[in-house]
Amino acid sequence: MIETLRETVHEIVQGTPVFDIHTHLYPPSFADLTSWGVDELVNYHYLIAELFRSSPITPEQFWALSKREQADVIWKTLFVENTPLSEATRGVVGVMTAFGLNPASPDLTEARAFFAGQDPERHVEQVLSMAGVSGIVMTNDVFDEREIADWDRDLPPHPKFHAVLRMDPLLNNWDGARETVVARGFKATPKGARKFLDAWIDRLKPLYLAASQPPELRYPENSRRIRMLTEVILPTCREHSLPVSLMIGVHKRVNPALRDAGDSLGHADTSSIERLCRDFPDNRFLVSMLSRENQHELCVAARKFANLMPFGCWWFLNNPSIVSEITMERIELLGASFIPQHSDARILEQIVYKWAHSRRVIADALTANYEALQRDGWPLTREQIERDVKRMFQDNFRSFVGFKD
């Protein structure tokens, strides 16, 4: 029996490198897409949404400002005139503290000077080290002209940044997607779409294909979305031995005036995922669902289908109280056979606080279950805990996608 169980678990969780399986981060070579520094941190869309609850400024007035001016307004409102109690604002406090900056500063002068003095390449390595992240999985949107331009420059790959082929328009907006497919020299047909994906898979060497989906996703259904999924995407994934990641539950821009901060969520149909896993047993499905109410159903589905891997606590779920509940539920139903978290970071430094917060919650959940296991008579060892944590932080994903260094 391990006498100092809590301390042991927290030490192991804190010290185990994590493979961050879903982010919106890029290496410094993707200059136009790379986001880092305090103005980006403070202008994160989570904080923008909070701003309008505590300030008389209108969205029209806010969007008319420069990014620097926007950050000043958010800082003054959420950090000077109010206490930064929310998860998103606490995250900024955690990042600034980690870099030795004053999180209670009346303005952003000190923080701007600090980040302006960083060398991008060295800064990336420092941030990854601080967060305990061994690998970053990007989101590479091959329908985004800015990103296509970067790939067309034949940039050398970064050893710690790994590609994912994001293909939302193929499922959600074929009328828009076909323009890109045709522009790359392929026909605007299902066969042309498959060849388009084949070409990008050959170029990106992605770990998986991914798409965000609304809660209305239904399978089976006679819709363009489902035909594209079953006739193009799933056969392509099988041919290339790649999983497909479905992130389900987002309602886009319920408040359009807030732009990216105006998205919401809805309860999705988990039985559609079960039917996909049943009807396509040779495909592997990485699935994250945005509604809290879907989490128990997803866990039960994963017990029935080994080709289904639940992952992360996405977006509105990435709050410690909810992460705790979901992680406990998954451990109780799935043991260590799931991926507990991903950062979903859009700004580089966010991985520092997102993984610090998640590690504490995951360690507490594991401790509670290990305590129960010891009470039931299991001779728990440190080596077993190390194996479990490494499995959840690294090995489950690597094995599911077939990734080898």
- Cβ-contact 268, 294 below 8 angstroms: yes
Residues of the chain with CATH 3.20.20.140: 5-32+119-401
d(CA 72, CA 67): 9
Nearest to 327 by CA among 288, 294, 358, 354: 358
d(CA 247, CA 294): 12
The pair of structure tokens assigned to 196 is 């388009």
Asked: is 5-32+119-401 a CATH 3.20.20.140 domain? The reply is: yes
- Cβ-contact 268, 217 below 8 angstroms: yes
Residues of the chain with CATH 1.10.2020.10: 46-113
Give the C-alpha distances (Å, rounded to integers) separating 249 from 35, 59, 238, 287: 26, 25, 25, 11
The pair of structure tokens assigned to 112 is 């701007």
Q: What is the pLDDT of residue 32?
A: 85
Which DSSP category does 216 fall into? T
d(CA 63, CA 46): 15
d(CA 261, CA 254): 10
Nearest to 84 by CA among 41, 32, 25: 41
The separation between CA 158 and the C-alpha centre of its own chain, rounded to angstroms, equals 19
- Cβ-contact 211, 167 below 8 angstroms: yes
| Start-to-end C-alpha separation, the chain | 35
- Cβ-contact 295, 286 below 8 angstroms: no
d(CA 152, CA 148): 6
The Cβ of residue 322 has, within 10 Å, a number of other Cβ atoms equal to 16
Q: What is the pLDDT of residue 401?
A: 98
* Helices and strands in the chain, H and E counts: 20, 11
Which DSSP category does 288 fall into? E
Residue 346 pairs in a beta bridge with: none
Which are the contacts of 142, defined by CB distance < 8 A and separation ≥ 6? 148, 151, 165, 166, 167, 180, 200, 204
For 46-113, CATH gives: 1.10.2020.10
Residue entry with tokens 């091959």: 142
- Cβ-contact 45, 24 below 8 angstroms: no
The pair of structure tokens assigned to 239 is 């041919």
- Cβ-contact 164, 207 below 8 angstroms: yes
3-state helix, strand, coil in the chain (%, to 5): 55, 10, 35
d(CA 128, CA 405): 17
- Reduce the DSSP state of residue 20 to 3 states and report it: strand
Q: What is the pLDDT of residue 1?
A: 64
pLDDT digit string (tens) for the chain, length 405 residues = 677 999 999 999 999 999 999 999 999 999 889 999 999 999 999 999 999 999 999 999 999 999 999 999 999 999 999 999 999 999 999 999 999 999 999 999 999 999 999 999 999 999 999 999 999 999 999 999 999 999 999 989 999 999 999 999 999 999 999 999 999 999 999 999 999 999 999 999 999 999 999 999 999 999 999 999 999 999 999 999 999 999 999 999 999 999 999 999 999 999 999 999 999 999 999 999 999 999 999 999 999 999 999 999 999 999 999 999 999 999 999 999 999 999 999 999 999 999 999 999 999 999 999 999 999 999 999 999 999 999 999 999 999 999 987
